[in-house]
Structure 1
Amino acid sequence: MASSDIEIGGRGAASRKDYFDPLPAPMIDMEEFAKWSFYRAIIAEFVATLLFLYVVVLTVIGNSSQTDPLNGGNVCAGVGPVGISWVFGGMIFVLVYCTAGISGGHINPAVTFGMFLTRKISLVRALLYIIAQCIGALCGCALVKTLQRDRYNHYGGGANQLVDGYSRGTGLAVEIVGTFVLLYTVFSATDPKRNARDSHVPVLAPLPIGFAVFMVHLATIPVTGTGINPARSFGAAVIINNHKVWKDHWIFWVGPLIGSTIAAMYYQYVLRASAVKAIGSFRSSPPTH
């Protein structure tokens, strides 16, 4: 590809790094099973998702308890939707920062699925990440229930469900768009071309990702309670095991996976112009005389 396609920053720009497109990950990489770094990454995804669910579910339940007039609370006592959104976004920021260098800091099957679609990770790694994330979510919710069983059961265990008054179609659309926003941010913040151009971006990458989670929660908590993370929805649903929660649970898997797929296609074929690079259609033929 022509060097002019690599954005440098203009005349007099600071020193730059040479940029090379990383090779796509193999579909099935059996060599990973012989590497400790592979198992360390899986453990990191498990622990990060456990901590994520533990903190956010505790926050959701605590807010419900503090604002419940039957429990001696009042409307202004809890952190409210804004506070809950900050906790979700803040935890993602912290956990992505802590685990990005070990596992990539996915903490979300939708993110893992998007990374697999763009060939950044192998199928084997993607499957084991998703399993680790779901088990971590289960353990995180189970830990909250163990510590606060009565409140956990009474206030629904922080499980996602479609809010009364909204259709399944609306809920599905909200989850698709919300996950697209998250994955769009993840791809943009971790883009290797940008990292080669702007060396400070990898340090700041967790910040826009966490802020995207915060913004999506602000917009969608009133509709679905905000899923955009199938492991988070699955863990809470299994531990509370309520029929109303399970009735529309498919939305919190189908929506994020569709949103992740659209974001991956947009990133790969529009932002990175993979198809154009393959056929060289940006190279115009010189005029003939």
Structure 2
Amino acid sequence: MSKEASEIGETPRKDYVDPPPAPIFDTAELKLWSFYRALIAEFVATLLFLYITVATVIGYKNQTDPCGGVGVLGIAWAFGGMIFILVYCTAGISGGHINPAVTFGLFLARKVSLLRAVGYMVAQCLGAICGVGLVKGFMRNPYNSLGGGANSVAPGYNKGTALGAEIIGTFVLVYTVFSATDPKRSARDSHVPVLAPLPIGFAVFMVHLATIPITGTGINPARSFGAAVIYNNGKVWDDHWIFWVGPFVGAMAAAAYHQYILRAAAIKALGSFRSNPSN
């Protein structure tokens, strides 16, 4: 838009197009192969994510040399690096969610339908169970004796602290997902879509550094659920609600912040309502 056009009061046009909101109920998706392909992609991606990350955790804990192994830093890299890889691989097929909290946040923002959101969550949880099951199958003795990579509240912390850590950690992740995939930024910075998996992976990495000592870092209900099912420990199940409530609350807050504050959806809706002559 030229300067002259702006000076005479002409309304500038956006240089990007927001995709239309996804329908809440879209049964037509059930007839599309792309829908089932996306479910398979989410299942396989979550399986691979849990296999690599939980195997890294068990392998580190099984080290006899206290100075050996990958350490907490390496565990955080395993989680963040796998998310980077898997989002890159699956973004064009399923969107690369690999996390029910991410799916929930995108559903609240009307990026996916309810049917797709539920399907993704089921596929993610099943993939997580299978991924952790493979770890147990390959590393049975250390798996059973070293905590199974399951999430629970660490000694010295209470459930309120753990819940807060999960809420804030998931907020960071889902906020990063929204920012990295924002169509406005994608239109103005052509490199953003290509680099989107990188900040998402880094967000996972940074959150793990902060919250591994508190909860072992959930921020992904499928990851926590898969480990809980296979390890099947009373303490893990007692704390398990934290790893659903925390991520879902964090995802809800991130979706509201991005959509209604940063993208000003509420103000735009109010302006449209006021400009409608029938109101």
Corresponding letter in the other structure for 1:31? A
**1:36 match:** 33
1:208-227 to 2 correspondences below 5 Å: 208-227=199-218
Equivalent-residue separation in structure 2 for 1:159 and 1:107 (angstroms)? 18
Please name the residue that 2:235 is paired with: 244
Unaligned runs of 5+ in 1: 7-17, 67-72, 284-289
Question: Residue 2 of structure 1: CA displacement?
Answer: 4.6
TM-score, scaled to structure 1: 0.89
**How far does the alpha carbon of each residue in 1:147-170 deviate from its partner, in whole angstroms, 9 at most, with x for none?**
111111011110011000101100
**Aligned residue for 1:150?**
141
Q: Distance in 2 between matches of 1:55 and 1:3?
A: 49
CA gap 1:164/1:32 in 2 versus in 1, 3 angstroms: same
Task: Pick closer, same or farther for the CA change 1:140–1:2 going to 2, 3 Å.
Answer: farther
Q: Which of 79, 97, 109 is the equivalent residue of 2:70?
A: 79
- In structure 2, the partner of 1:132 is 123
Aligned equivalents of 1:253 and 1:278: distance in 2?
31
Q: 2:12 aligns with which of 3, 11, 14?
A: 3
Deviation of residue 74 (structure 1)?
2.0
CA–CA distance in structure 1, aligned partners of residues 11 and 39 of structure 2: 38
Q: Who is 2:48 aligned against?
A: 51
Matched, 1:180 2:171: yes
| 2:74 pairs with 1:65 | no
Deviations 1:12-53 (A, max 9, x none): xxxxxx412211000010110111100000000000000000
Which residue in the other structure is 1:23 paired with?
20
The CA distance in 2 between the partners of 1:51 and 1:270, in whole Å, is: 35
Tell me the amino acid that sits aligned with residue 50 of structure 1: L
Counterpart residue type for residue 227 of structure 1: G
Rounded Cα–Cα distance in structure 2 between residues aligned with 1:125 and 1:2: 37
Structure 1 residue 3: deviation in Å?
Answer: 2.7
The equivalent of 1:70 in structure 2 is none
| Distance in structure 2 (CA, Å) of the matches to 1:3 and 1:205 | 28
**AA of the residue aligned to 1:222:** P
**How much does 1:175 deviate?**
0.2
Shift of 1:211: 0.2
Unaligned stretches of 5+ residues in structure 2:
1-9, 275-279
3-state secondary structure, aligned to 1:75: coil
For residues 180 and 199 of structure 1, the distance between their equivalents in structure 2, rounded to whole angstroms, comes to 26
2:19 and 2:236 map into 1 onto residues whose CA distance is 42
Distance 1:148 1:87 in 2: 18
- Code of the residue aligned with 1:127 in structure 2: it is V
Percentage of matched positions with identical amino acids: 71
Please tell me the root mean square deviation across aligned C-alpha atoms, in Å: 1.5
Give the Cα–Cα distance (whole angstroms) in 1 for the partners of residues 182 and 217 of structure 2. 26
> Which aligned runs of 4 or more in structure 1 are off by greater than 3 angstroms?
none
Partner of 2:246: 255
SS of structure 2 residue aligned to 1:158: coil
Q: Which whole-Å CA distance do the structure 2 matches of 1:146 and 1:156 have between them?
A: 15
Q: For the residues of structure 2 that align with 1:80 and 1:3, how far apart are their CA atoms?
A: 53
Q: How many residues align?
A: 265
The corresponding residue for 1:234 is 225
User: What TM-score does the superposition give when structure 2 sets the normalisation length?
Assistant: 0.93
